[in-house]
């Protein structure tokens, strides 16, 4: 036969056991919940992309000039101002007039000046175009003043 | 006292973890049934200071929309291959194709993309898009220098707007993180 004290002791023991189970369960569930939060699968919508933009082609070089390297040499140095984002330059010349037909005589020039090889006797005008990369080319510059090559050398009329 | 502890624990779960049930082993299916898509779209152009030209990198602007009922934090993106090119368009509406600057000729790719589809690239800073209907959703992000144009890009691609190739995936988690303020700037650098 159970006495009142025995009943109280049994109840207390039961309560302690229940508390222990609850605490353990809470710990387990908390850990599981944290794991679930980090394992969510986020599916990307099809055709997820973004927008970029390209700049314009390089502009025409400015400040283009031609100068005899010396009065006795048959070579000319062409100079110009750098163009934003240009990687190389191409030099053209004409031999009839400043508004004549121009022919490419040097390409892939990475600096802002270029010196010709020995030129044949003739009158020369030069223009320069800027390139960005292999295929982006800007308009040609204005023509330089005339450079005259003769048997005795070079003069700027 | 016992009942109070159980309810308090259950309440904390509902606020942060969006669970269907407490049964162990059911998380995979239960989570998939409640997941909605992230949508990343192209709706704005980069600032003029960092545009593409042959041999350069440029910015990409994306908008990320989250239709989940909880914030989503993105930590990495997965990219298509480096032979998957962006399509060129005449305006930032990305509606009229640019002749001669297409997905087969533009030479514009995601920076650091490789020959392997789905290569993963970690964001410098995790991006958290707010829950559906909350602030900072959608989230506009400028990805600095994350587009690349080769030196052989055709002349037809000057003054062109690009729709970048679709990402193949993202690495993200759902939870209760504070959302990133829109607009934001971020990038992957390797």
Q: Does A117 touch chain B (CB under 8 A)?
A: no
In a domain, B23, yes or no: no
Contact B38 A40 (CB under 8 A): no
The pLDDT mean for chain B works out to 81
Q: Closest Cα of chain A to B62: distance in Å? A: 5
| CA B153 – CA A134 distance, rounded (Å) | 7
Predicted local confidence at residue B36, as pLDDT: 59
Predicted local confidence at residue B27, as pLDDT: 28
What are the pLDDT digits (tens) for A9-20? 677 778 777 767
Q: Does A110 touch chain B (CB under 8 A)?
A: no
Confidence of residue B37 (pLDDT cuts 50, 70, 90): confident
pLDDT at A25 over 70: no
User: What percent of chain B is predicted at pLDDT more than 70?
Assistant: 81
| CA A60 – CA A45 distance, rounded (Å) | 45
The pLDDT mean for chain A works out to 86
Residues whose CB is less than 8 angstroms from the CB of residue A116 and which lie 6 or more positions away in sequence, other chains included: A75, A76, A77, A78, A105, A106
In a domain, B131, yes or no: yes
Q: What average pLDDT does the segment A54-69 reach? A: 98
Question: What domain range includes position B65?
Answer: 35-186
Q: Which residues of B touch A40 (CB under 8 A)?
A: 31, 35, 172-175
CB nearest to B61's CB, from A26, A51, A136: A51
In a domain, B8, yes or no: no
Q: What average pLDDT does the segment A58-87 reach? A: 97
Contact B174 A56 (CB under 8 A): no
What are the pLDDT digits (tens) for B152-163? 999 999 999 999
Confidence of residue A8 (pLDDT cuts 50, 70, 90): low
* A47/B136: higher pLDDT: B136
pLDDT at B42 over 80: no
Predicted local confidence at residue B8, as pLDDT: 27
CA–centroid distance for B54 within its chain:
25
Q: Does A88 touch chain B (CB under 8 A)?
A: no
- Pair type for strands B37-41 and A43-44: parallel
Choices 3.30.360.10, 3.40.50.300, 1.10.579.10, 2.60.40.10: CATH for A65-155: 2.60.40.10
Number of domains in chain B: 1
> What would the two tokens of residue B46 be?
């980069």
What is the ipTM, given to two decimal places? 0.80
What are the pLDDT digits (tens) for A76-85? 999 999 999 9
* B35/B36: higher pLDDT: B36
List the single residue in A with minimal CA-CA distance to B150: A133
What secondary structure does DSSP assign to A35-65, as a single string?
HHHHT---EEPTT---EEEB-PPPPPP-S-E
CA neighbours within 13 Å on the CB side: how many for B31? 20
pLDDT at A51 over 60: yes
Confidence of residue B86 (pLDDT cuts 50, 70, 90): very high
Q: Which helix (H) or strand (E) holds A33?
A: helix A4-38
Confidence of residue B142 (pLDDT cuts 50, 70, 90): very high
Confidence of residue B31 (pLDDT cuts 50, 70, 90): very low
In a domain, B97, yes or no: yes
Task: Determine the Cα angle at A21 with ends A16 and A22, to 5°.
Answer: 95
Domain spans of chain A, in order of start: 1-45, 65-155
Which one of B42, B52, B54 would you mutate to disrupt binding with A, by most A Cβ within 10 Å of its Cβ? B54
């Amino acid at each position: 036969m159970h006495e009142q004290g025995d009943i109280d002791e049994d109840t207390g023991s039961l309560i302690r056991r229940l508390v222990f189970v609850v605490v353990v369960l809470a710990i387990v569930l908390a850990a599981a919940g944290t794991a679930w939060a980090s394992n969510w699968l986020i599916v990307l919508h099809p055709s997820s992309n973004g927008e970029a933009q390209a700049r314009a082609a390089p502009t025409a070089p400015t400040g283009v000039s031609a100068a005899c390297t010396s009065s006795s040499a048959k070579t000319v140095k062409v100079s110009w101002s750098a163009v934003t984002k240009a990687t190389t330059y191409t030099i053209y010349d004409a031999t009839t007039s400043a508004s004549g037909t121009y022919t490419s005589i040097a390409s892939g020039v990475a600096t802002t000046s270029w010196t010709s090889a020995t030129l044949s006797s003739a009158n020369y005008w030069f223009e320069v175009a800027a390139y960005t990369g292999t295929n982006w080319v800007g308009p040609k510059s204005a023509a330089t003043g005339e450079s005259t090559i003769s048997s005795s050398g070079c003069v700027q009329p | 006292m016992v009942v109070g502890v159980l309810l308090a624990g259950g309440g904390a779960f509902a606020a942060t973890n969006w669970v269907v049930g407490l049964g162990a082993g059911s998380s995979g299916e239960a989570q998939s049934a409640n997941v909605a898509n992230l949508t990343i779209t192209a709706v704005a152009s980069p600032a003029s200071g960092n545009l593409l030209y042959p041999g350069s990198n440029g910015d990409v602007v994306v908008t990320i929309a989250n239709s989940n009922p909880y914030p989503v934090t993105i930590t990495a993106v997965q990219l298509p291959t480096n032979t998957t090119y962006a399509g060129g368009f005449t305006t930032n509406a990305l509606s009229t194709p640019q002749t001669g600057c297409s997905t087969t000729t533009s030479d514009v790719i995601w920076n650091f993309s490789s020959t392997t589809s789905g290569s993963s690239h970690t964001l410098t800073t995790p991006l958290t898009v707010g829950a559906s209907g909350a602030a900072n959703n959608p989230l506009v992000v400028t990805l600095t220098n994350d587009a690349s144009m080769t030196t052989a890009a055709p002349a037809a691609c000057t003054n062109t707007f690009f729709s970048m190739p679709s990402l193949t995936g993202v690495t993200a988690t759902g939870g209760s993180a504070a959302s990133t303020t829109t607009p934001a700037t971020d990038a992957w650098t390797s």
